[in-house]
Amino acid sequence: MTQSDRRPMDLDAYEERARRGPCFVCAFLSGHPDYAHHLVYEDADHVAFLDRWPTLPGKVLVAPKRHIEHVVSGFTDDGYTGIMLVVRKVALAVEKVCAPERVYLLSLGAQGGNSHVHWHVAGLPPGVPYGEQQFHALMSENGVLDVSPEEAAAVAERLREQLSS
């Protein structure tokens, strides 16, 4: 993966959508067509789906189905343990399917936009130069991968197969 594999991201449009639109997780779960994602995992309390604007191959978002806004205090001990087990399960599937050098796990969002708690599971491909790893690799300001709908569907299917095995 190199910078040439990326396309610019319209950050102004993204911010407008995040700040003024509906909660993207809740909209996805309700079937809103403008918030469709490729589902990779679902249980009674959690959902995992491909990032619409991936910065790394096979980047997955994991969220509780219930709208929770605080990454620690929003959960009971059991609820927090439960979602972290799902994050781990998804990360293990990303390791198997994408064969990354390292898997990054982080929770992002803000009260002003994307407030629904979610974790990013992002596998760093082998061979990425050190200066393009870590935060650089995760920042959409550095562009997003140009993934076709067919490629995304294929990755989602491989992740679903891995998660169900």
Digit-coded pLDDT (tens) for 128-157: 999 999 999 999 999 999 999 999 999 999
Q: Does a structural domain hold residue 29?
A: no
Please state the pTM of the whole predicted model.
Answer: 0.94
CATH, residue 75: 3.30.428.10
Q: Does a structural domain hold residue 1?
A: no
pLDDT over 50 at 75, yes or no: yes
Number of structural domains (the chain) is 1
pLDDT over 70 at 93, yes or no: yes
Distance between CA atoms of 88 and 122, rounded to whole angstroms?
12
pLDDT over 90 at 2, yes or no: no
Expressed as residue numbers, the domain containing 146 is 7-17+46-164
Q: Does a structural domain hold residue 27?
A: no
Distance between CA atoms of 61 and 127, rounded to whole angstroms?
24
Q: Is the dihedral of CA 69, 89, 77, 45 positive or negative?
A: positive
Confidence of residue 32 (pLDDT cuts 50, 70, 90): very high
Q: Does a structural domain hold residue 130?
A: yes
